Structure formats: structure tokens, C-alpha cells
Amino acid sequence: MPATVVVSQSLFPESIALMRESGLDVVVRDSDEPVGGEGLAAMVADADALLCQLTDAVDESVLAAGPRLRVVATCSAGFDHIDVAAASRHGVAVTNTPGVLHEDTADLTFALILASARRVVEGDAFVRAGRFKRWTLHQEQLGLPVHGARLGIVGMGQIGRAVARRAAHGFGMEVCYHSRTRLPADIERELGVRHLSFEELLGESDVVSLHAPLTPATHHLVDDAALQRMKPTAILVNTSRGPLVDEAALARALGSGQIAGAGLDVYEDEPRVHPDLLALTERVVLLPHLGSATEKTRRQMAEIAATNVVAALTGDVPPNVVNAEAVDVG
């Protein structure tokens, strides 16, 4: 009897075919809406694998409902929506899709930096409203310079490094960073970056860009106290995880002029956005989680997730297990 894979949300057909061609029974829920905890629990009752997405909360109750589960494969690089410790207790491997989205996310980071600093969205709306009558020296959309500015990167993984390369080599920016683990000196020299404490980075940077994972230590990393350390001309960009930022505190800082602007692609209670942020339009750009949203990358993510499932259910070790020490996937 073939092993059964349940797919919680719509997936690209070629990734479904990959699993079926490997002899797996694949059951696909054809919807882009998250099913919710009880729905996921019902889906995994007779499943050997769950292929989920970052909007699916896979907790103890879901894992306990799937006695046959051997792997939970998320079609995302982040896996904070999965209780990894609980999965390990149940002997379930957890896999993700790293290594394919860092360049796209770095591109989008710079889109947000430029859009908020140079007021691109405001300018577009200004033109579409028929308000552009002439060039003037003091026109409404005067912005902040990006070339030559100081960029502070929080979290120096693959995405942070990709952003640093664009900043230093493409925009002549001075790049500093803060990370839980400091980079080796030769990599710092190669990237042209210098390490600072988090507090120093906040105080010195013209743009602060967040690329840290969501952990208990990074939840609300940017709060009232952090925002008070930033320059009044500074911009905050977040393309990592929404809960790194206290959105109420950010809205207050933007509304009072404590900082100059923000570019956000992720939100604390996604897809809900704090209403006070929605009300701000000057130098504030809000995107619907587009970090990895190119056709090529999203298809690669789905293929990797499917490959992880096939490996786990056919006796091989999946290449992207995040709890390998706790789980024997052989």
C-alpha cells in the first residue's frame, strides 16, 4: 500500500506529479485558504506526510492526530509555524525549503528601501490622481538619499548577506550589522561590513533592515525602546517575520516623527495589519508578503518541499531536515 501525502493548500502541478511518480498517494486540498487546526488534524489522521505552507499552524494537537506521520514538509524557508519540539517528540521530521529565496527577498528589501526613502508609492498615487502639474524645487515628494547612506542589517544569514552585497557594491552604502553569531573576519572584509551591538546599530543607521529569524529572543525586537534609539531621519524595513516588530510602537514612532519611514512586507498578526499603520501614507510602504514572490522561486520551493517528502517516505534522508538530531528519518 503506497504511503499517503496530504497537501494542505494548492500546489504547483509539477510538484504533485513528482510525488505521484515516486509511487506516493497524494491527496491535495485545492484551496489557498488555511484549513485551521481542526481541519489539519482531520487531514493527517491517516497520512504519512503533510506538505503544508507557512499559514498552516502545525502544533501538538495536529501532530498527535497523525499517528502515522513521518514528515511535515513546509513549503517555506521559515518554520516558526511548526512546533518543532513537539514534532521531535512524536518522531516526525520537519523539513523546509532554504537556499532559493534569498536573492529575491534581498531584491524586495531594496525595493522597500527605495520606495519608502524616495516616496515612490506616494508619487505614483500623486500622478494617478491628476495632481502632477509641474516640476518644482520644493515638490511634495522630497525624500531621503539612499546612495552613500548607512545601512544596518539585523541578522546576517543568506538574505542579510545578499542585501549587504547590493548595498555596498550597488549603492555605495556603508554597511554595519548585528547578528547572534559574528561573521569570520575574512567574510566581513569580503562583504565590506562591520559588526556593531544592536543598540549601536540602531543609533548609527539611516536604514535598519531586519533579517533575523523569529524566536522568543527576537519577538518584538523592535519595540518602543529600540525605536527611540533610531535617528529621526531613519527608515525601518522588515522582510523577515512580522512579530519582530511591535506594530503599535512602530505606528506611534511614525506618527510622531520619531523615525521617518518604514517598508514592511510581513506583519505581526498576518494578514491583519495594525490599523494605525494603514492610516499612514507618507514614507510608509506596505506589501502583501512578496519576499519570495517570483514565479521561478515559488516553483522551486514547491519542488524542494515535494522532494523532501519523497526522500522521507522512500527511506532516504531529506536534505532539509531542521530537527535531524531528534529524529531518525532513515
> Which residues, including other chains, have CB under 8 Å from residue 279's CB and lie 6 or more apart?
none
289 is catalytic: yes
Q: What phi and psi values does residue 102 have, to the nearest 5 degrees?
A: -70, -35
Residue of 241, 247, 268, 283 marked active site: 241
Q: Give the residue from 202, 207, 248 showing the smallest Cα distance to 226.
A: 202
Strands 284-286 and 261-264: parallel
128 is catalytic: no
Grid cell, residue 98, equals 532554504
Residue of 89, 118, 220, 289 marked active site: 289
Which three-class secondary structure state does DSSP give residue 45? coil
Q: Give the residue from 207, 213, 152, 204 showing the smallest Cα distance to 180.
A: 213
Grid cell, residue 195, equals 559588526
Residue of 81, 174, 270, 299 marked active site: 270
Cα angle 29, 32, 36; round to 5: 70
| Residues marked as catalytic | 241, 270, 289
